[in-house]
Structure 1
Amino acid sequence: MTGTTFEELPLTPSASRPLKVAVLSFAHTHAIGYCRALAGRADIDLVVADPDGASAPDEAPRGAELAAELGVRYLETYEEALAWAPDAVIVTAENARHRALVEASAAVGAHILCEKPLATTVEDAEAMLAAAERAGVTLMTAYPVRFAPSFADLLHRVRSGQLGTVLAVKGTNNGKLPAERAWFTDPALSGGGALVDHVVHCADLLDELLGEQPSTVHAVANRLLHPESAVETGGLVTAVYPSGVVATIDCSWSVPQSAPTWGGLTLQVTGTRGSVTIAPFAPHLGGQTEDGPVWVPLGTDLDGAMLDAFVDAVRSGRPATPDGRVGLRTLRVVDAARRSAATGEVVATVG
């Protein structure tokens, strides 16, 4: 896709003033972590708008109440937030609302970090990329696991040939049913369940690791884990790549609600010279007290590393990675998986 290059971008924000960042929506729980990470920074002027919070079908805090709890200035509408002329926005709305917010943000010249998946349809994602390119702004997809030191090490081992020719990859991204935000199980707002929510993270790592997109995808999914859900809660995706690599992704919401953490992601890469497994969320301080289980994550703050990369890209005018094209490619994998699960057939990917 051709369009505006980053050399043609408008002047980058002056380093002498705080970067104006607007968080659009508290719908996604990651918005809370992003606000906490940015609110205390002297180089960031932060606001948040969450007009859809009042009509959300759950009891979780949203809107002005949550903003006050986080110590973040609250604006009543998205229009007000964009009229504030932000340098950058973080779109953390329901998946189906990403396109409208990304297009509106691009129209006011704001650089964009958009929560994953980029959209609920390939057509929407393509329109979002086009809007960002027309406006000459960067569009980054929120894939924090890219910033895990263990993934950087794995990537080095694969590219340097330490594992030989890659033959197969086994990915898991298991977690809890996101019951605290009811929209995750509303197909109109989420676009689907576990296939949509969890496949994309592994698909992103595979995209970077293999440097190619799958030629075919086969998926199975069901609601056996949570029969009351309106979307799939368990799934397994098999992707075959042009090089012959076969990758599987277990994307189930299989972690019990009583678990001390949401879940975890793993990736095992097997080649002709060996195999390496990473588990970026595994390092932790664990134990048991009279108040219940203890789970304290250790190591790199992946969300913080991703936000640092986004802020640096906005400040410098350099491209943000992983960008919107990655978001589109991984959404194509999800789209193929949804169609395969619905028909029972192997689906050829397009793009």
Structure 2
Amino acid sequence: MKVAVLSFAHVHAATYLELLRERSDIELIAADPDADPADPTRGKALADELGISYRSSYEAVLAEQPHAVIVTSENTRHRHLVEQAAAAGAHVLCEKPLATTEPDSRAMIDACDKAGVNLMTAYPVRFHPAFASLRHSLTDGSLGRLLSVHGVNNSSPPALERSWFSDPALAGGGAVMDHTVHIADLLDVLLDGEQPTHVYAVANDHLSPAHDGTAEGVETAGLVTLTYPRGLIATIDCSWSHPATHPTWGGLSLICVTERALAEFDAFPPLLTGYNTPQTTPRWEPTTIDLNAAMLNTFLTAARTGQRVHPDGHAGLRTLRIVLAAYESLRTGQPTTTSRAT
């Protein structure tokens, strides 16, 4: 099956390329025409380093009629590439957030529906076996009613690797745009798509002073509070708060309070911790679950069989509505609703 990757802008693009090139059932092609030719981490330079067949334009890639396409461009460029891929008859996996506005999200969903192809949003954490166990424990009734959820998705500033994350015109925002959506997707699963009635957010840019040039113009720390119709309260810490010396790039966890128990989920727990004396840094050996591989396998299986894939574009839209409501709350200083933020 022919699979194409459009753009290497996102920090996850190289990971997807490396995973796909190892698969014997995949013919992989790619294009990243918007890259700076002098940037060794993007464009033809990266493709050559990884041994990936490279094309000079998106149009050249799509002319080869790939069966599936992965879009890993800057956030505000998702819509155009998804619409192009859908028009070429390709199933689409789009990096999160699905888009930065509701009209763009709806246009992407409509384009894929019209073309009869899947649109999947890149939320790999929902494929974690431990999250599946958590969901089962919360839905089988044994723990009683879910009362509150505290979610944390922290990382180092992605602008350290890709400067566009600090450009609102390309990213659509900062830490709130980047990291709210993963936790929001897990809540979407646990609550069967139920939307919050109110969203309240606070944020600042204290973690990236302007002099370091990493995130000028966007927020770098945020806390989003969600209130749901049945009274459940959820919080999302979406901050880019990991220092450069942290042993991992990022992390994600949930604490769920129920009537009878406290249930915790850690997506990236350490298998072994210690200290690296030569490098004078903490050491963290991660567990072996590859969530990106699990997500890609689900996407490619659906593309091959024609079955409907999840999380789909509608899941991506629901989580984006929470982000947009958070930004409306930041603008007004008051709680808002997802409907008011569209």
Q: 1:55 deviation in Å?
A: 6.9
Q: 1:95 aligns with which of 56, 75, 83?
A: 75
Q: Deviations over 1:55-111 (max 9, x none)?
A: 79xx56110110111111111111101111000000000000000000000001000
Counting aligned pairs with the same residue, the percent is 55
Show the counterpart of 2:49.
69
RMSD of aligned Cα (Å):
1.3
Alignment of 1:190-229 (within 5 A): 190-211=171-192, 212-228=194-210, 229=216
Query: Aligned residue for 1:333?
Result: 322
Give the structure 2 partner of residue 296 of structure 1.
Answer: 285
State the AA in 2 paired with 1:127. A
Q: For residues 296 and 84 of structure 1, what CA distance do their matches in structure 2 show? A: 41
- TM score, norm. by length of structure 1: 0.92
Measure, in 1, the Cα distance between the counterparts of 2:274 and 2:20. Answer: 30
Give secondary structure in 1 for the equivalent of 2:309: coil
Shift of 1:348: 1.1
Aligned to 1:48: 30
Distance in structure 1 (CA, Å) of the matches to 2:227 and 2:320: 16
Structure 2: distance between partners of 1:90 and 1:117:
14
Query: What secondary structure, in the 3-state scheme, does the structure 1 residue paired with 2:256 have?
Result: strand
Match of 2:153 in 1: 173
Q: Give me the TM-score of the superposition, normalised by structure 2.
A: 0.94
Question: 2-side partners of 1:342 and 1:176: how far apart?
Answer: 25
Contact (CA 8 Å) 2:6, 2:72: kept in 1 or not? yes
Hey, what's the Cα distance between the residues in 1 that align with 2:256 and 2:276?
37
Q: Secondary structure at the match of 1:113?
A: strand
* Rounded Cα–Cα distance in structure 2 between residues aligned with 1:140 and 1:230: 30
Match of 1:271 in 2: 258
Matched residue of 1:195: which SS?
A: helix
Segments of 5+ residues of structure 2 without an aligned counterpart are 211-215
1:239 match: 226
CA distance in 2, matches of 1:286, 1:214: 38
2:296 to 298, 307, 330: 307
Count of matched residue positions in the alignment of Structure 1 and Structure 2: 331
Return 5+ residue gaps in structure 1 as ranges: 1-18
Q: What is the aligned partner in structure 2 of residue 255 from structure 1?
A: 242
**Corresponding residue to 1:320 among 304, 309, 313:** 309
Aligned residue number for residue 15 of structure 1 = none
In structure 2, what is the equivalent of residue 132 of structure 1? 112
Q: Distance in 1 between matches of 2:277 and 2:140?
A: 48
Q: CA deviation at 1:214?
A: 0.8
Tell me if structure 2 keeps the 8 A contact 1:25–1:50: yes
Alpha-carbon deviation of 1:273? 1.0
Superposed structure 1 runs of 4+ greater than 6 Å apart: none
